[in-house]
Structure 1
């Protein structure tokens, strides 16, 4: 009997030590990836201090980061597959001893180094991993995974849940916060797009953190996004206001944004379709930027129309057309961007709807369907969707501003004569919005 009591007494401090360790474990709240010429940076955001070590392995090439006494949040786990860059293929994780092990699979040999960033502002302690892969500084940053997907890259959709952290956004009739509603919808939207072959969703935030407006657009640029969707929930002084809506950038918003970008020419390398503006005179730079933003706005309107149409199948619409305004998050010159207002939290009925997980899932599904339809109609060059359609042939292409018949033929791998014949065209005159049948290549 004495031996049993002695054994339990001896083990109790061990149990308490383990339990205390679990309680004090630092949590990985978010992981962000940024890419510049020749360098990929990963920032691991933590809610407490931890020690780390890093080493590299070969055959295959990979970098391993170990964090002691650490845990990973479910939000990060759910979105880990969205992390990639030119050099970074994917991020894997596993529990290791009393902490976490992250494995960074890379597409080539890299020079890896780490640094610790102390807590600042809304951010806790952070660990930054830099992967240098020898690309010259003047090299153009290409789309994520383009060099390793053999022209079958994913279409990258950056999803931005509005507000967050200290900014709750609108407060609903029933006390719900906009920041929570839109984060839930954004996560579901990302999940659905990631389940469609040829699409990859990236969230600007996966947890309840605050981001500056310009930082949200920066995430889209660093992810080489084909589309940015900002998700919000409206509010108004009168509870009778209701309905979902979709917004794109206005011409007045474009004009003011052009001035801002032109004032920063020296920082605008690879801004317009891979063309740097820093060595152009102001007039030429303005013309190039104007052409790019006109095309971007038109693409935003086209995508927004598809999304709005799908949302109208399950939700009341505030307006039955894509509206335009000068929202900051819509102002990337070369990234089509839309802002989706999912409903009015100030309206009792819509606040109740948006409080329902089932309703939010249906809403996210409708947005995802609209995005899929838009890109199936006009897939970007080099994407898996474009490759798949070329193999099948017989798909429809919608003419966008700036398109020419010869360029459409070249992009889709068919002869100009075959394209004319498939559409019974007597000449090469086409117009924006025209539907063209693309024959099998």
Structure 2
């Protein structure tokens, strides 16, 4: 019993990574991992490619940090990735050049909690700081929200074949192009296509394109086929680590257990490709974000298409990769169904479907813009939007994250003190 109590206590006292700040000097980059309580860490280098691994024991990561990791970079730092490791967190610093790395612990001071500082040295130092970036205050960059659109199949892989000689690879490419066109017309959103022509891409190439683009969202587009011509309806999928919510989910899970899905894409079975794409979707804390985005998209698709299921579907898989991008997979309909094959053969229908998907994506990011994006900056300038208090939030942190002063935040919400509660809605004034 004492051992059990000790274990439970350790879990309850897990440190949270609240923020990551990056300071860049000529010849060095400094990363500061801010925690809400002390935690042990270890750091080691890896090569081919060059990267630094930082393990923080008995810890977790805030959603705010997860949503904004793609904004961090410097002359030597390409990106920061993360994964859950045992009871702690692993951060991987992908590098663009050779560095000498060292870490140190900074004690809590003033408004800051305990911190782990990682220094990357790669040249002569200068005293002045050239660039300072923070996940909590990076809005000055005003970058675009990046949405990577992945039309499935292509080239020698036609995908599902249906009524009216419809080929899946042609349908999804057409919808993908239209979706990219509509997203690019929205100020603050940039669409990137994994393929814009009839070419075959392996799964690792699709993933590489998304990661190199620092994607905020990956949308994989497909079409279904089934042995029964009566099967119909569009659907939206997100990944599940703990179970499945449909017959197709159970089938996919069985396929994953029986087949090595890491070695490449099989051209023999379309649904195995679906399983492989789902395997590469973001896991852990990004799954909830994927579900939220999927719900917005599904609601808009309902105005155009018949739905196979009225909610976002999930399938359970063994965790094979370290995820870093929120992802949804859209099944646009069943090409084996005569009515839906006719619809998907229509350019007008495909444009309407793409427009509905774009509307759902735009609505989500308007309400949940990643830090450092133009949309987040615009909302801060306008003010008047609401912030929902999450576990671990403090009023001062909320003010800092949203680029407003603590006094103006108190005033906008007529707060007499700084006491807030989870689920509380706060009005954010103009920044």
Q: Which residue of 2 aligns with 1:394?
A: 384
TM-score by length of 1: 0.55
1:307 aligned residue (272, 282, 297): 297
TM-score by length of 2: 0.56
1:337 aligned residue (309, 312, 327): 327
1:217 aligns with 2:207: yes
Alignment CA distance shift 1:400-1:157 (3 Å): farther
Alignment CA distance shift 1:169-1:439 (3 Å): same
Q: CA deviation at 1:424?
A: 6.3
Corresponding pairs, count: 268
Q: Which is worse superposed, 415-424 or 179-188?
A: 415-424
1:410 aligned residue (400, 405, 410): 400
1:174 aligned residue (164, 174, 186): 164
Q: CA deviation at 1:364?
A: 0.4
Which one scores higher on RCO, CA 8 angstroms, separation ≥ 6?
Answer: 2
1:243 aligns with 2:233: yes
What CA distance in whole angstroms lies between the structure 1 residues aligned with 2:391 and 2:166? 42
Local SS of the residue matching 1:174: helix
Q: CA deviation at 1:430?
A: 1.5
Whichever of the two has the greater Rg, that structure is 1
Q: CA deviation at 1:358?
A: 0.5
> How do 1:305-384 residues align onto structure 2 when only pairs under 5 Å count?
305-326=295-316, 333-384=323-374
Alignment CA distance shift 1:382-1:430 (3 Å): same
Q: Which residue of 2 aligns with 1:151?
A: 141
1:404-429: CA deviation from partner (whole Å, max 9, x where unpaired):
65443322112445445545677322
Q: CA deviation at 1:336?
A: 0.5
Stretches of structure 1 that go unaligned for 5 or more consecutive residues are 1-84, 87-107, 109-133, 257-291
1:9-41: CA deviation from partner (whole Å, max 9, x where unpaired):
xxxxxxxxxxxxxxxxxxxxxxxxxxxxxxxxx
1:165 aligns with 2:155: yes
Question: What is the RMSD computed on CA atoms of the aligned residues?
Answer: 3.5
* Paired residues of 1:249 and 1:331 also in contact (CA < 8 A): no
1:271-330: CA deviation from partner (whole Å, max 9, x where unpaired):
xxxxxxxxxxxxxxxxxxxxx943211111111111111111121111111111258999
Stretches of structure 2 that go unaligned for 5 or more consecutive residues are 1-69, 76-94, 100-119, 122-131, 245-252, 254-281
Alignment CA distance shift 1:226-1:189 (3 Å): same
Local SS of the residue matching 2:171: helix
1:372-400: CA deviation from partner (whole Å, max 9, x where unpaired):
00000010111000111111000234567
Alignment CA distance shift 1:307-1:326 (3 Å): same
> How do 1:28-107 residues align onto structure 2 when only pairs under 5 Å count?
none
Local SS of the residue matching 2:215: coil
* Paired residues of 1:171 and 1:177 also in contact (CA < 8 A): yes
What CA distance in whole angstroms lies between the structure 2 residues aligned with 1:409 and 1:293? 29
1:428 aligned residue (420, 427, 430): 420
Alignment CA distance shift 1:357-1:438 (3 Å): same
Q: CA deviation at 1:213?
A: 1.6
Q: Which is worse superposed, 377-386 or 398-407?
A: 398-407
What CA distance in whole angstroms lies between the structure 1 residues aligned with 2:392 and 2:230? 42
Q: Which is worse superposed, 221-230 or 311-320?
A: 311-320
Q: Which residue of 2 aligns with 1:208?
A: 198
